[in-house]
Amino acid sequence: MLLLKEKEFINWFPKNNLFLSIIMKLFLLVYVAIIALGSSFLFQDKELQKSIERGNEIYADFCITCHLDKGEGVKNVFPPLAKSDYLKKNREESIRGIKYGQKGELTVNGVTYNGVMTPMGLEDEEIADVMNYILNSWGNNSSKEIVTPDEVAAITAK
């Protein structure tokens, strides 16, 4: 009887040990995953910050003349970028407009514009930077998904 109990115990113990070691491994895995994810977020955030800084300079060189200092634009002539519903909802179209130019009717915050924005000959990387700048300035906050040069490169003229 006692022997049987011992046998049972021996049978039970290694199983339990295995169970414990699986739990430990799981903990370790979760721990490593959290660290890795956390640092990749931090990395992305830093990339975004650097891109926004470069974008700020591009904005000052190429966009400020029409869209103005605070992205407020000129009503009925140059549409605003600050709190622009168009920019927020049409990420791809906005990139296309900066890359290839934009003309024809377009509505921003309920006001219809029918002007012309000529292409400024920017590189894909510069367009990504200026997009990151306007998407994260003057109260605009994008979903935080960084615009990359690859994303810009993939957008073709209509």
Residues 15, 65, 143, 156: which binds ligand HEC (CB under 6 A)?
Answer: 65
Long-range contacts of 135-142 (CB under 8 A, 24+ apart): 135/87, 136/48, 136/52, 137/52, 137/56, 137/71, 137/81, 137/82, 138/70, 138/71, 138/72, 138/81, 138/82, 138/83, 139/82, 139/83, 140/71, 140/81, 140/82, 140/83, 140/84, 140/87, 140/88, 142/88
Residue 96 interacts with ligand HEC (CB under 6 A): yes or no: no
Q: Which C-beta is closer to ligand HEC: that of 46 or that of 75?
A: 75
Residue 86 interacts with ligand HEC (CB under 6 A): yes or no: yes
Residue 155 interacts with ligand HEC (CB under 6 A): yes or no: no
Total of chain residues touching ligand HEC, rule CB under 6 A = 28
Q: Which C-beta is closer to ligand HEC: that of 7 or that of 75?
A: 75
The answer for residues whose C-beta is within 8 angstroms of residue 28's C-beta and 6 or more apart is: none
117-136 positions binding ligand HEC, by CB under 6 A: 117, 120, 130, 134
Instruction: Give me the residues that bind ligand HEC (CB under 6 A), please.
Output: 62-63, 65-67, 78-81, 84, 86-87, 94, 97-98, 102-104, 106, 108, 113-117, 120, 130, 134
